[in-house]
Structure 1
Amino acid sequence: MTPNRTLTQASLLALGRDVLTTEADAIQALADRLDESFVQAHALLLNCKGRVVVAGIGKSGHIGGKIAATLASTGTPAFFMHPAEAAHGDLGMITAEDVVLALSNSGESNELVALLPAIKRKGAKIIAMTGNPRSSLGNAADVHLNSGVSKEACPLNLAPTASTTASLALGDALAVCLLEARGFSRDDFALSHPGGSLGRKLLVHVRDVMHQGEELPAVSTEASLRDALFEITRKGLGMTAVVNAAGDLVGVFTDGDLRRAMDKDIDLKRAAITDVMTLKPKTIDVNRLAVEAVQQMEQSKIYVLLVTDAGKLAGAIRMHDLLQAGVV
């Protein structure tokens, strides 16, 4: 290895842009030559009654792991199988109902090629993703996807760079087409990602985090301001809903309403709640997503939102509750 070379800012930026351009060109060339083999591969994966087993060695293995993860999280059951481990027992995970997606830029990776006879004896279908259709892997596959590139982004044209990017993009194309064909929805995606922020935003509803029952502050339209203040103190939400005899929500009283009443020199000891409450308060339906409550609070610049169910008061939700639920 030669001593470190000093790159000028201009040469560094030029090299970086050249790498990105080379990889972008590789993906564009891949898109231009997409053909019937892609349709066949899609059909095999869509009709797979088992699981998609993704295999690759070295850099192709890293790309294969990501492809398997993307497939699994978008509605296509998949897992990654390391070829070396497969040769020592993991091959038992493959069944006749599975489809093997094998990645190798050369199509001649020894560890992968050695597995082909056993995979075929098991009856599993093989989709090969290589840069050489006439390779051992390409010839043995039921469907071959050509992920070849004209050159690597590496100045030595040796390190897998553009070729791995092309394989990754081709895997994403398959995953997205399968997602669309399966009718995979936002809710389905959330169910696959329950532990993440996105999952919480798509799964948590207002009803899951709202205060209700005995926790919900509410007074009748016959109540006094004094009664409302006691209710706010007992429930600790900084507000109280105001409902009529039929249980319909007619107003809300908050600490902001109290300050406004004091500014107007209203007799706080004698005032009725209807004299100081805010009519037609902001509300959200009990079945809406919690993230929608966040959006409504931010737009209205409020920190507590009343919740209704068919027009009746059902609960109250605070920004603090949404922060605790991980929605914000």
Structure 2
Amino acid sequence: MSETNFISSAQRVIDIERQAISEIKQYVDVNFDTACQAMFDCQGRIIVVGMGKSGHVGNKIAATLASTGTPAFFVHPGEASHGDLGMITKDDVVLLISNSGETSEILNIVPVIKRIGAYIIAMTGNAQCSMAKLANCHIQVTVSQEACPLGLAPTASTTATLVMGDALAVALLEARGFTADDFALSHPGGSLGRRLLLTLDDIMHKETQVPRVELNQTVTAALFEISAKGLGMTSVVDGFGRMVGIFTDGDLRRIIEQRIDIHSTTIENVMTRKCTTANPEMLAAEALNIMETKRINGLIVIDSQNRPIGALNMQDLLKAGVL
């Protein structure tokens, strides 16, 4: 098979699956709304059940729901028949996933789920299937064709089901008013958590580590301060300790090009007056965005009296896992 055929085949698959996603938009209807309301009102957990490829998709849907504010977990129908049905209570909502809607392993446990009293949502590709008839609510996910040329391997249908699951999760997320901080609480060990939870107060250099010089000091003094603190900059303060400017490595390069005498020139005459500052409550991710947008390598953190109380640079963000 030539490289051209590989590419042609891959492009055909993408076109078919893109079409499948477009087709299921029609099924975001009153049944979808009913399913969302049932999941929103659920006093227990969302239990996702699926077999084979639908099970793999179901696992991902359960994980997405759980990480976006809707407690959920996946139960394998085979294991459910051998004890795992004990995980399901009358307060739960059970989401059954099957393209055909006739998966025997799932149909075998439906009577028990109904006896328990849990609310059942079926997500299938056939509105007339057994699961659709047995469920309290049915979400249709029908695609016109699979990407598999044999029409056998679940491809477009699993993609469409995954997208519908994402639609459920995001609709519920927005209904709950789920925030970035809420998301970070369920991802504390990952980079997402670090990006969303860390504030500048958590990572900035403080107290004696904050570079500062006074207006009447020379450029030479500022260079010593920059070197000592190792942040590539220093704040410039007035007689009351309030920040009035900043002096950076970039400023130094510019005055050297102008052949200014660094031993006699005061920092007041060469500093940058209108500089970007931050407050300690600012999220580290927000500070990163500011630094990237303004193309600066560091920030001075000030208090409510405009006094420098912290400082950080890109290296600090990198060490904290934010960058």
Query: What is the TM-score of this pair, normalised by structure 1?
Result: 0.86
What's the counterpart of residue 315 of structure 2? 320
Indicate how the Cα distance of structure 1 residues 18 and 236 shifts in structure 2: closer, same or farther if over 3 A, else same: closer
Q: How far apart are residue 280 of structure 1 and its match?
A: 3.5
| Pair 205,152 (structure 1): closer, same or farther in 2 beyond 3 Å | same
1:118 corresponds to which residue?
112
3-state SS, counterpart of residue 157 of structure 1? coil
C-alpha spacing 1:146/1:259, structure 2 compared with 1 (3 Å)? closer
CA deviations over 1:257-288 (Å, ceiling 9, x no partner) = 55555666666555544355443333223332
Question: C-alpha deviations, 1:8-43, integer Å up to 9, x for none?
Answer: 72x544443433333333333322244322121111
The residue identity in structure 2 corresponding to 1:282 is T
The aligned length equals 322
Separation in 1, partners of 2:100, 2:45: 25
Q: What's the offset of the Cα at 1:177?
A: 1.5
> Could you list the runs of 5+ residues in structure 2 that have no partner in the other structure?
none
Does the 8 Å CA contact 2:92/2:118 hold for their aligned counterparts?
A: yes
- Cα distance, 1:252–1:92 mapped onto 2, change above 3 Å: same
Structure 1 unmatched runs, 5+: 1-5
Matched, 1:179 2:173: yes
1:214 aligns with 2:170: no
Report the Cα distance in structure 2 between the residues aligned to 1:159 and 1:263, rounded to whole angstroms. Answer: 68
Please give the root-mean-square deviation of Cα atoms over the aligned residues, in Å. Answer: 2.6
- Which stretch has the larger CA shift, 273-282 or 306-315? 273-282
- Give the AA of the match of 1:77: P
On the 8 A contact 2:218/2:262 being kept in 1, the answer is no
| Structure-1 residue corresponding to 2:282 | 288
How far does the alpha carbon of each residue in 1:204-230 deviate from its partner, in whole angstroms, 9 at most, with x for none? 222221111121122333545555454
Structure 1's 24 and 269: CA in aligned 2 closer, same or farther, altered over 3 A?
closer
Separation (CA, whole Å) in 1 of partners of 2:293 and 2:141: 48
Equivalent residue runs for 1:99-138 within 5 Å = 99-138=93-132
Worse overlay, 169-178 or 231-240: 231-240
- Identify the residue that residue 3 of structure 1 maps to in structure 2: none
Q: Which moved more, 1:163-172 or 1:184-193?
A: 184-193
* 1:305 matched to 2:292: no
* 2:154 partner SS: coil
Between the aligned partners of 1:57 and 1:213, the Cα distance in structure 2 is 59
Residue 247 of structure 1 is matched in structure 2 by 241
> 2:29 — aligned with what?
35
Q: 1:172 to 1:220 in 2, by over 3 A?
A: same
Q: How do residues 1-328 of structure 1 correspond to structure 2 at under 5 angstroms?
A: 6=1, 9=4, 11-225=5-219, 227-258=221-252, 268-269=262-263, 271-310=265-304, 311-328=306-323
What is the SS of the residue equivalent to 1:120? helix
Task: Name the SS for the 2:287 alignment partner.
Answer: helix
The one-letter code matched in structure 1 to 2:317 is: L
Q: Distance in 2 between matches of 1:293 and 1:196?
A: 19
Question: Structure 1 residues 15 and 213 mapped into 2: Cα distance closer, same or farther (>3 Å)?
Answer: same
Give the share of equivalent positions with the same residue, in percent: 54
What's the secondary structure of 2:78's corresponding residue?
helix
Query: In structure 1, how many angstroms separate the alpha carbons of the residues matched to 2:258 and 2:24?
Result: 72
* Aligned equivalents of 1:8, 1:260: Cα separation in 2: 54
Q: Tell me the CA shift for residue 50 of structure 1.
A: 0.8
The change in CA–CA distance for 1:33 and 1:52 in structure 2 (over 3 A counts) is closer
Residues 85 and 308 (structure 1 numbering): CA distance in 2 closer, same or farther, change over 3 Å?
A: same
SS in 2 for 1:242: strand
Q: What amino acid sits opposite 1:320 in the alignment?
A: Q
Sort the Cα spacing of 1:167 and 1:249 in 2 relative to 1 into closer, same or farther, 3 A: same
Matches of 1:183 and 1:136 in 2, distance apart?
A: 35
Deviations 1:87-109 (A, max 9, x none): 22222211111100011122222
SS at match of 2:47: strand
1:175-211 residue CA offsets vs partner (Å, 9 max, x unmatched): 1211221122333333333344444333322222111
**Which TM-score applies when normalising by structure 2?**
0.87
